[in-house]
């Protein structure tokens, strides 16, 4: 049994047109008009495939094939980062749809039902893994009124505009006994598979993530009359910290540890006043929980040392946390067996990116498989994987699902 790459390609290309800018990047942030257009399109495709379709209170879309009982679930997300690429998340959802279509058209009825899920706001416009956290009962209702995107748009307002009641989002929680297993196909978003010429990555673990806001507070003095040695300049202090935190992660991390400062806010933000307040939005990642904890402690201590030496204050707030997760050995073995059946070599590897699979892994057996990303590029307009790699990955997913759904466990 094989998927139709022509049909899958048509779906991927159609979805990629929703939210595409003239420059070629795709912007479908969660709850935006483009995201809602994509959700409506996906609902139509699931219904056209003959699946039983539902939408929960958190906006998660689920298409089901088969009768009652615990389901083997597969999927990902269709929201994107700003100016992103065509395959991050979308591949996992649409390849899952294609697998279920293929199984249905072949007249195969596995012992377990199958589900395809498109989770809301995996990318974290308002709150990372919002949909999968809600489905697994890990969404705190008290958090919702406090959530806003970087522009200040509040989650409550965005959900209301899309026709959802934000006060009911936590009601999307499902009984975990109804999810027998979860497996997700994704682009690698890194360089390793392409560099080694291996078509399928079998994911052993997903990184933990810490996201911090560090606000350095100095004094807003006159930029022309205040001597350099008397300034309490928040920006230069933050810049010193930024360089040193990079060195800290390189020296004290695992070799795969990474850190990124993706947002810098300087106030008052004019050239003739010494910056009084500089905020950094920083995250770091590693698959080893002891490394994540160590980097968190040492990063905070470093920021306080740098601020104290420069005579400034620093406020540190943790904005987001996802723990590292080891994925299911049974599902890893199922992916490897499916790939071997298709004559495809595999490589076991960690995921450096966060995924909905790590949230599902807290309530059920979960696994992931990767296909190569050209140049390791992702979260940018030229993100790409070739169609042959996509076909191979989708077929491995298909046979993995058949194995998991056929085990009756």
Do 231 and 358 sit in the same domain of this protein?
no
Q: What is the pLDDT of residue 322?
A: 84
> What distance in Å separates the CA atoms of residue 230 and residue 221, rounded to the nearest whole number?
10
Do 309 and 177 sit in the same domain of this protein?
no
Domain of 307, CATH number, reads: 3.30.70.360
Q: Could you say which of 321, 356, 372 is where a domain stops?
A: 321
Do 377 and 316 sit in the same domain of this protein?
no
Query: What's the pLDDT tens digit per position in 80-135?
Result: 999 999 999 999 999 999 999 999 999 999 999 999 999 999 999 999 899 999 99
Contact present, 89 and 78 (Cβ < 8 Å): yes
Q: What is the pLDDT of residue 320?
A: 86
Do 358 and 306 sit in the same domain of this protein?
no
Helix (H) or strand (E) holding 115: strand 114-119
Contact present, 184 and 397 (Cβ < 8 Å): no
Low-confidence spans in the chain with pLDDT less than 70: 407-409
A 10 A CB-CB count for 306 gives 22
Do 294 and 332 sit in the same domain of this protein?
no
E strands within 244-364? 258-267, 277-286, 313-322, 325-326, 346-351
> What distance in Å separates the CA atoms of residue 192 and residue 185, rounded to the nearest whole number?
16
How far does the chain reach from its first CA to its final CA, in angstroms?
A: 23
Domain holding 261, by residue range, is 208-321
Q: Could you say which of 321, 340, 356 is where a domain stops?
A: 321
101 CB-near residues (< 8 Å, 6+ apart): 4, 7, 49
Q: Which of 119, 22, 4, 14 is nearest to 61 (CA)?
A: 119
Do 113 and 47 sit in the same domain of this protein?
yes
Domain total in the chain: 2
DSSP notation for 20-80 = B-TTS-B---TTSHHHHHHHHHHHHHHHHTT-EEEE-TT--EEEEESSSS-EEEEEEE---
* Residue entry with tokens 């879309």: 61
> What distance in Å separates the CA atoms of residue 293 and residue 287, rounded to the nearest whole number?
11
Q: What is the pTM of this model?
A: 0.88
Contact present, 373 and 188 (Cβ < 8 Å): yes
Contact present, 94 and 8 (Cβ < 8 Å): yes
Q: What is the pLDDT of residue 295?
A: 94
Do 99 and 160 sit in the same domain of this protein?
yes
Do 85 and 108 sit in the same domain of this protein?
yes
Do 202 and 223 sit in the same domain of this protein?
no
Do 42 and 166 sit in the same domain of this protein?
yes
Contact present, 310 and 232 (Cβ < 8 Å): yes
Q: Could you say which of 321, 346, 379 is where a domain stops?
A: 321
Do 222 and 86 sit in the same domain of this protein?
no
Q: What is the pLDDT of residue 407?
A: 57
Q: What is the pLDDT of residue 408?
A: 38
Do 359 and 230 sit in the same domain of this protein?
no
Q: By three-state DSSP, how is residue 170 classified?
A: helix
Domain of 169, CATH number, reads: 3.40.630.10
Q: What is the 3-state secondary structure (H, E, C) of 214-265?
A: EEEECCCCECCCCCHHHCCCHHHHHHHHHHHHHHHHHHHCCCCCEEEEEEEE
Q: What is the pLDDT of residue 409?
A: 38
């Amino acid at each position: 049994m094989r998927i139709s790459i022509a049909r899958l390609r048509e779906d991927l290309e159609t979805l990629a047109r929703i939210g595409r800018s003239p420059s070629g990047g795709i912007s479908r942030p969660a709850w935006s008009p483009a995201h809602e257009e994509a959700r409506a399109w996906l609902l139509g495709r699931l219904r056209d495939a003959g699946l039983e379709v539902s939408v929960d209170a958190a906006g998660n879309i689920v298409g089901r094939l088969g009768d009652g009982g615990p389901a083997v679930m597969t999927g990902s997300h269709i929201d994107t980062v700003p100016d992103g690429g065509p395959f991050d998340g979308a591949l996992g959802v649409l390849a899952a749809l294609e697998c279920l279509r293929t199984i249905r058209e072949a007249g195969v009825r596995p012992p377990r039902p199958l589900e395809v899920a498109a989770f809301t706001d995996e990318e974290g416009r308002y709150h990372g893994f919002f949909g999968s956290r809600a489905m697994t009962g890990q969404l705190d209702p008290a958090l919702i009124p406090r959530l806003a995107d970087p522009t200040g748009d509040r989650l409550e307002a965005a959900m209301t505009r899309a026709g959802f009641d934000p006060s009911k989002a936590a009601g999307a929680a499902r009984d975990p006994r109804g999810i027998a297993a979860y497996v997700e196909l994704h682009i690698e978003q890194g360089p390793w598979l392409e560099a080694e010429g291996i078509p399928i990555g079998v994911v052993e673990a997903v990184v933990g993530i810490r996201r911090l806001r560090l606000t350095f507070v100095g004094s807003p003095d006159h930029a022309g009359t205040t001597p350099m040695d008397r300034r309490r300049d928040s920006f230069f202090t933050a810049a010193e910290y930024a360089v040193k935190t990079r060195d800290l992660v390189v020296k004290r991390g695992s070799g795969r540890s990474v850190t990124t400062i993706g947002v810098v806010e300087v106030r008052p933000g004019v050239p003739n006043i010494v910056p009084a307040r500089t905020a950094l939005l920083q995250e770091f990642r590693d698959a080893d929980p002891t490394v994540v904890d160590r980097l968190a402690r040492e990063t905070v201590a470093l920021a306080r040392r740098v601020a104290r030496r420069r005579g400034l204050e620093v406020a540190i707030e943790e904005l987001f946390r996802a723990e590292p997760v080891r994925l299911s050995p049974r599902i890893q073995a199922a992916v490897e067996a499916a790939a071997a059946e298709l004559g495809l070599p595999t490589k076991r590897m960690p995921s450096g990116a966060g995924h909905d699979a790590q949230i599902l892994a807290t309530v059920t057996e979960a696994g992931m498989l990767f296909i190569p990303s050209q140049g390791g590029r992702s979260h940018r307009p030229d993100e790409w994987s070739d169609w042959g790699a996509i076909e191979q990955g989708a077929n491995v997913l298909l046979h993995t699902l058949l194995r998991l759904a056929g085990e009756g466990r």
